Structure 1
Amino acid sequence: MNLKLEPCTPNDAAQLAELRVLAMRPSLERIGRFDTERARQRLLQNFVAECTRLIKLDGLLAGFLVLRPKDNDLLLDHFYLHPDFQQRGLGSAVIKLVLAEADAMGKIIHVGALRDSDANRFYIRHGFVLREITEFDNYYLRYPQADTSRCE
């Protein structure tokens, strides 16, 4: 598996908005809140190419993530895989890269997930802890982990 996180350009925004619609559709339909245009606009309204990374697998666009500064922490604002690339372990491989980066900086990562989404189990499995439940979303934190593999 040749996995790469690559920089994004402003020209990628429309394609990523469409990918978000595909990835979010099942979760949003489960809670009766799917709206194609709203799903697109949620990404496009706050799109910042410098915070966005393309997830490429063997040269193909498999998804993207948005990691923004948030006070002294990081916000994983978006993390989507195209449905064709889900359930293959790719999400776990990507989140491990992001977590290692945050750990190296000593940063807390914040993330939100729709309450009925499979993403909740995913984030808990990767060390995030629930901090807040709202009507539609769950919010999690993941504290930086010390590197215990190095000998002092």
Structure 2
Amino acid sequence: MSDLLSRLSLQPVDSSDFEAMLALRIDAMRPSLERVGRFDVARSRERLSAGFVVPYMHHIVLDGDQRIGFVTLKPEDSDALRLDHLYLRTGFQGLGIGEWVLEWAKSQAREQRLDIKLTALVKSDANRFYLRHGFVLEGGEGVDLHYRWRVASEAAC
């Protein structure tokens, strides 16, 4: 697996990447959205469009040219960053890639001494992933669960 992780990189996003990223988001999110009865292509387009902030987005790339996912990490409050999107194409989940991206996000947060906030769907496999990586459930509303990783919690370890 470490061989796979050594072949990963993050690359900048361009505004012309929107349609390809939408297709990737739909591929990654469809099973979770269908479980909660919320899959809708138009809604997926709206959600990505609302969070499409190019300066804070990165493609997750394998072997320098294969785009297998993307991540958005942007400022939210004076004390936190928001992990707004972390999507991997079907077939690339469960290989340690999400953890690799999460470690990158945590390193960014550590440098800035900021927490990380994120939202996950109620019946998504992502919930176990985030809990396993030190995020704490802070609450929820509707089909969304809100998590926070505290940069200070690492200093206590």
- The normalised TM-score by structure 1 is 0.92
Q: Among residues 103, 124, 146, which one is paired with 2:155 in the alignment? A: 146
Give structure 1 regions of 4+ aligned residues with deviation exceeding 3 angstroms.
Answer: none
Give the Cα separation in 1 of the matches to 2:156 and 2:54.
30
2:11 is the counterpart of 1:6: yes
The residue correspondences of 1:60-71 to structure 2 (distance < 5 A) are 60-71=66-77
Task: State the match for 2:48 in structure 1.
Answer: 43
Q: Give 1:139 shift.
A: 0.2
SS of equivalent to 2:16: helix
Q: Give 1:78 shift.
A: 0.9
Unaligned runs of 5+ in 2: none
Do the aligned residues in 2 keep the contact of 1:18 with 1:40 (CA within 8 Å)?
Answer: no
Give the Cα separation in 2 of the matches to 1:27 and 1:50.
27
Do the aligned residues in 1 keep the contact of 2:10 with 2:59 (CA within 8 Å)?
Answer: yes
Q: Which amino acid aligns with 1:121?
A: R
Q: Report how many aligned residue pairs link the two structures.
A: 148
- Cα distance change on mapping 1:52 and 1:147 into 2, 3 Å: farther
CA deviations on 1:100-128 (whole Å, 9 max, x unpaired) are 22112111100000000001011111110
Give the Cα separation in 1 of the matches to 2:126 and 2:69.
15
SS of equivalent to 1:91: helix
Give the Cα separation in 2 of the matches to 1:76 and 1:123.
11
SS of equivalent to 2:94: coil
Task: State the match for 2:33 in structure 1.
Answer: 28
Greater displacement, 88-97 / 19-28: 88-97
Task: State the match for 2:142 in structure 1.
Answer: 135
Q: Among residues 85, 102, 125, which one is paired with 1:118 in the alignment? A: 125
2:58 is the counterpart of 1:53: yes
Q: Give 1:45 shift.
A: 3.0
Unaligned runs of 5+ in 1: none
- RMSD, matched Cα: 1.4
Matched-pair identity in %: 43
Q: Give 1:69 shift.
A: 0.6
Do the aligned residues in 2 keep the contact of 1:20 with 1:40 (CA within 8 Å)?
Answer: no
Do the aligned residues in 1 keep the contact of 2:51 with 2:84 (CA within 8 Å)?
Answer: no
Q: Give 1:87 shift.
A: 1.6
Do the aligned residues in 2 keep the contact of 1:3 with 1:55 (CA within 8 Å)?
Answer: yes
